[in-house]
Chain A
Amino acid sequence: MLTDDQVLALAPDSSSAKAGQELASPHKWQELGANEKLAWGLCQGSGKNPYQCCVDLGQTAFKCSCPSRKFPCKHSLALLLLLSRQSAALNSKEVPAWASTWMASRKERADKKALKTESEQRSGDETEQLNPGRESSGAADQGKAKKAKTASARREKVEAGLEELELWLKDRIRQGLAGLESSSYQSWENAAARLTDAQAPGLARMLRQCAGIPNTGDGWQERLLSKLGLLQLILEAYKRIETLPEALKADLRQIVGFNLNQEELLQSASPVKDTWQVVAQRVSLEERLKVQRSWLRSASQNKWALILNFAHGMQPLDISLSPGTSLEAELVYYPGTSALRALVKSKSQVTQPLSKFNAFASIEEFLDDYANALALNPFIETYPVLLEGVCCRRGKNNFVIADKNNSYLPLAKSRLSGWQLMAVSAGCQIEFCAEWNGEHLLPLSALVNGKFYRLDQKGEADVA
C-alpha cells in the first residue's frame, strides 16, 4: 500500500495535491470500496451525477469520469489517500460494473501486448531454427533490411544536423559571446529545434541548457564557453565514432540522443543483482518533460546506478523507488564506459530504511574516482558523490563541505541549499550525497544520526 507521501508525489501539481487532500474525507464520497487489486468510489462533484473513480492498485493506474485534464485527478489522489489513511472506510466489497469493465479492458490490452511480444519473439526464433547458420529469408529479411535502411537514414540525418550545429557554433564564436545576456533566446531555440528535427534530441537539450546560462549570474561567460567546448568535443568525437571503442561509442550515441529499446536491453544484458541503496532522487523540468533522476548505490561494491524516469505534462512520475530506503534488485546497465545509467529488471517489494551510506571516506578518494570516470568518458556532465564524516561550513558568500582531513569542496551557489544542510546537520558530521559538476556540489540528500533527509532546491529538506 502506498504511503501519504508517495500518493502526494503522484500529484501533477501542488494544487492537485491540495485538492486531493481536501477530498480525502469519507463524507465526500457516496460509495467507497477496495479489494487487493482495485479501489473505487463515487464522489459528488458540481455535476448532477457523482464521478466514478477507480485505481488499479497493482500498476497504479487511474480512471475517473470527471472532466479534469490533470492526471491523476484530485479524486484519484483522494481515493488513494483515503486508502492509506482510513482503509476501513473503503468498506464495500462488491466491485461495481463500471470499475470491473475498466479493469477488464485493461487486462485485455495487456494480454494483447504480451501476445504481440511473444509472437514477435517466436517468429524470430522460428526463422533462426529453420535456417540455422544461413541468412534469414522472406519477411524477416525484409524486416532487417527495413530496419537497416531506417538506421542508415537516421545516421545521415544526425550527421547533417551535427554539421549544421558545427557551423552554427563557428558563427557564434566568430560573433563573440559578449552581449548574449541581453540578446534573444530565439536563435538558440531555433538551433535546438533543428537538432530535434535532425533526431539528435540529446544535443538539442544541451543547447537549450546553454541558452539559459547567460542569465545565471557572475561567471556565466566561462560556464557557457566550457559547455560550448564540450559540444565541440562531442562533435569531434562523433566524426570518428567508428574508430572509437564500443563502450565509448555507446556513450556517445546516448549523448547525441539515440535511444535503446528498453525491452531488448532487459532481455539481452546480464543483470546485476545486489542490495541497492536509493540514496537520492531529483526531479527537474525540461520544457514540459519531468525528468526524475534516482541515484542507486550498491551496498557492498563501488557501483552506482542512475535510473531515469520521464513524465510528460501532467503525467505522474514513477514512485516505486523511494529515497532513503534500500532494496534487493536486479539492474541492467546501459552499454557504456562509466556504467551509470541502468534499468530495474526486478526488485523486491520489501524495502529497508537506510541508516548508512556506502560512502567515500574522504574527498580525495572521491576526486580520484571522478578522474577515473572522466578518463573513461570525457563527456560526463554530472557525477554522483557520497561522502561520510563530512560537515557543512559557512563562508561569507557560500557554503562548503569539508571532510575529516579538512579538505573541502564548494556547494552550488543556491541561496538556500547550504542553509538546509546547516538546519538538518546543525554543523555536525553527516553522510552526504550530491551531484558534482566538476566545480560545485549540488546537495541531494543527507544522513544525520541515521536519519535520512532529502534536500531539494526550493529551500526545503524532506525527511524520509
Chain B
Amino acid sequence: MWLKKDLLATALLGTGQQELPPVYKSASESLESAMSQIQEQVADAGKETSLLKAVALLHLFEKSGRKAQVLDEDFPFQKETAQNLPEESDDESVQNQMRQLSHEAKTQLRHLLETNSQLLPEWLSLAHKKGKTIPAELLVSAFELAARNNGIRKAIASCAGERGQWLALLNEDWHFLLIGPRQAEANAEELKKLWDFGSRQERLAALKAAREQEPSLALEMIKSSWKSDPPEERLAYLSILNSALSQADESFLESAGLDDKRKEIRRQSQDLLANIAGSRFCLRNKERLANAVKLKARETNSGFLEKLASFGKKKASKYELEVNLPADCDKQMIRDGFSAKSPDARMGDKAWLLCQILGLCRPSELLAYFQLSEEELLQVFLESEWRNALIAGLEHACLKFEASKQAELILLLYFGLLDFSAEGLHLKAAYELFDCLDKKEQESFLTKYLERNNYLLSKQGQEYVDSRALELLRRMRGDWSKEFSQVVLRAIRTHMVQKNNSIFSDYYLSPLALKMNLEVWAAVEASWKSSAVYDKSLDKMIATLNQRKEIKEALDCQHQ
C-alpha cells in the first residue's frame, strides 16, 4: 500500500520536484520482481515513464487479484427488506390488479415526471382516487421531483404506496413525504415531543394535527415557544390557528398578537380576531361603526320640476347615510390596525378611515346593522357622497370574510351587469373578489357575463379579445361542469368564427384546458377538427385536453 502512496505523492508533486521511491518494494514477490525490472530501466526510459509503468503494473495487479470483501456482524451495511409489498407482488387478486398501473399509465407518468408537466397533479390526483400507486421504478424520480417542488409533495406522498413510504423512511432527504400521515396518527404526548424536538416541517405538521385533534393543545403548544420562536415561525403558527378558531383563542391573540413587534403578525392577529364573533375586537369596531355611520330617511322634494328631472331614471333610495368620522385615530384604533394616512392618492384620509371601519365589519353584520337588503345597501352606498370609500370598505370586508354573496354583487356592479352605474368608482380588487366565490358561483357569474357580453369580444370596436373575461376564466378553480365548459368552448368558437383570426395566447388558454370537463372532448373532436382556422394556442389547448382524456383512460384501464 505504501508503494502506491509513494508513487502517488511523486506524481502529485511531479518528478521535477520529488524523487521516485528508492525501492519499489511490495508484499508480493512476483510483483516486486516485475517492479525491480521497471526500476532497472529508469536510466533508459526516464523517471516519468518508469513511474507510470509502475502505476500501471500495480493497478493491474490489484484489479486482477481483487477479492470480494465479506459482510460480518460488525459490518455497517444494513439489511433492509420490505416484505410482502402488495403493489409489486405477483398477487393476482382483483384488489392488487386494481392497484397496479397499465403500461400506458406508467409511460404517461414517466413522461410527466421527466417534463415536470402541469398535468402531473391531475395524474396523481386521479391515481389517488382510484387507489393506484407510483410504480417502484419511478419512485426515485418522483421523490426527487418532490424534493425540488414543494407544491407537488402532498400529491406524490398520497400515491407513494407502502413501498414508497418504506423507501422514504430509509432516506432522510425524503422524510418530508412522511410528514402528515405520521403526525395524524400521533397522540398528544407524541405531538408534544415532535413540537419540542422536531424539524421545522415536523413541528408545523404536529401543530396542524394537534389543532385538528384538540384545538386547546395546539394553543398551548404555540404559547410554550411563542417568545423564543422567530417571527416567520410565529406567522406560520397563526395561519394554522385559523382552523377551529374560537373565543378560547381571543385572549392570546389580544395580548400576544396585537402587541407583537412585527406588523405582519399584528395584521394576521387582527384578521383572526375579526373572525371571532363577539370578540372584544369586533365589539370595538361595531361601536366605531355605530358612531361613524347612521342611516336616516331621505328628505325628498316632491315638486314638479324634481319629478320631471328624475323621469326615466332609477328611483332613488328612501334612505341616506349620515357620516360622522372621528378627527384622528386614537391609540386603541392604531392597536387594532387602523392607519390615519390614506395609502391611495385618490382617497382622502377621512374616507380611508371610513373604508377601514367598514372593512372590519362582517358584511352580514352590516346588513343587520342597517337593516337593509344587499341591493338596498348597495344603492344607499352608491348614492352617498362617500360612495368610493363605502364600496371600497365593503370590498375589503368581502375579501376578509370571504362573503361570496356580497362579493358577487360588487362584481356584477363592476362588470356592468347591474342597473347601477359604477362610474367614478376605484375598484381595485375585482379579480380577488372573484376568487371569493365558490366554483358554482364563479360558473354562474361568468355564464351570465359571457352571454351578455357577446362572448369573448370586447365591447370596444369588437376588435379585441375581452381580456377581463379571459383573466377571470384563467383564475377560475378547476373541475368545471360540462355545461360551463360548453359555454366557454362556444365563446371561443364564436370569437374565432366571427373574426376568422384568433388572438388568444397560451397564457390564457392553456389553464382553461386543465379545468374543462372531459365530457366535452367528443364535441371538440367532432367540431374543432374541421376548423379551418389554425391557431397555435388553441391547438395546444386541444392537445392538453386530449392528453387529459388519455390520462383518464389509461388510469381507468386495468393492469395487464
Contact = CB atoms under 8 A, between A and B. Distances in A.
A408 B82 contact: no
A426 B88 contact: yes
Contacts of A408: 68-71, 77
Interface stretch (A55-63, A169-177, A286-294, A325-333): A169-177
Interface string B20-31: 000000000000
Interface string A40-61: 0000101000000000000000
Given A178-B13, A407-B70, A427-B81, A226 B546 contact: no
B135 interface: yes
A407 B69 contact: yes
Contacts of B546: 25, 27
A17 B114 CA distance: 11
Nearest to B144: A459
A126 interface: no
Contacts of A27: 525, 528-529, 542, 546
Residue of A226, A391, A403, A428 with most chain B CB atoms under a 10 A cut-off: A226
A232 B53 contact: yes
B397 to A, nearest CB: 46
A459 B70 CA distance: 28
Given A176-B12, A426-B166, A419 B64 contact: no
Contacts of B55: 225-226, 228-229, 232
Contacts of B138: 460-461
Interface stretch (A136-144, A307-315, A370-378): A370-378
B276 interface: no
A71 interface: no
Contacts of B71: 393, 402, 406-408
Given A222-B8, A400-B77, A402-B77, A229 B140 contact: no
Contact of A463 (B70, B106, B542): B106
Contacts of B534: 44, 46
A462 interface: yes
Interface string A420-435: 1011101110000000
Interface in B50-103: 51-60, 62-72, 76-82, 85, 88, 90
Contacts of A420: 137, 140
Contacts of B76: 395-396
Contacts of B135: 463
B536 interface: yes
A453 interface: yes
Nearest to B55: A229
A21 B111 contact: yes
Contacts of B528: 27
Interface in A12-52: 14, 17-18, 21-23, 25, 27-28, 44, 46
A400 B69 CA distance: 10
B15 interface: yes
Nearest to A416: B140
B48 interface: yes
Interface string A146-186: 00000000000000000000100110011111100000000
Contact of B107 (A4, A178, A405): A4
A364 interface: yes
Contact of A173 (B15, B113, B141): B15
B77 A393 contact: yes
Contacts of B286: none
A449 interface: yes
Contact of A232 (B49, B58, B62, B104): B49
A375 B141 CA distance: 40
Interface residues of B, number: 78
B79 A393 contact: yes
B527 to A, nearest CB: 10
Contacts of B69: 407-408
Interface in B199-241: none
Given A367-B68, A426-B166, A18 B111 contact: yes
A404 to B, nearest CB: 11
Nearest to B528: A27
A283 B139 CA distance: 22
Nearest to B137: A461
Residue of B63, B66, B69, B141 with most chain A CB atoms under a 10 A cut-off: B63
B329 interface: no
Contact of B17 (A176, A177, A391): A176
A23 B136 CA distance: 29
Interface string B169-181: 0110000000000
B14 interface: yes
A240 interface: no
Contacts of B106: 463
Contact of A221 (B8, B16, B52, B79): B8
A427 B536 CA distance: 49
A173 to B, nearest CB: 4
A64 interface: no
B167 A422 contact: yes
B547 interface: yes
Contacts of B72: 406
A462 B140 CA distance: 11
B405 to A, nearest CB: 42
Given A5-B107, A27-B529, A176-B17, A426 B52 contact: no
A96 interface: no
Contacts of B171: 419
B506 to A, nearest CB: 13
A394 B77 contact: yes
Contacts of A403: 68
Interface in A350-395: 363-364, 367, 370-371, 374-375, 378, 391, 393-395
Contact of B543 (A25, A44, A367): A25
Interface string A446-464: 0011000100001111110
Given A222-B8, A423-B140, A176 B16 contact: yes
The 9 closest A-B CB pairs, nearest first, are: A176-B14, A229-B55, A229-B56, A232-B52, A407-B68, A461-B137, A427-B81, A438-B63, A173-B48
22 contacts: A21-B547, A22-B540, A23-B543, A46-B534, A173-B52, A174-B16, A174-B48, A176-B13, A177-B11, A178-B12, A221-B11, A225-B11, A229-B57, A232-B55, A391-B79, A402-B77, A409-B68, A416-B144, A426-B88, A426-B163, A428-B82, A458-B141
Interface of A: 4-5, 14, 17-18, 21-23, 25, 27-28, 44, 46, 166, 169-170, 173-178, 221-222, 225-226, 228-233, 236, 363-364, 367, 370-371, 374-375, 378, 391, 393-396, 400, 402-403, 405-409, 416, 419-420, 422-424, 426-428, 438-439, 448-449, 453, 458-463
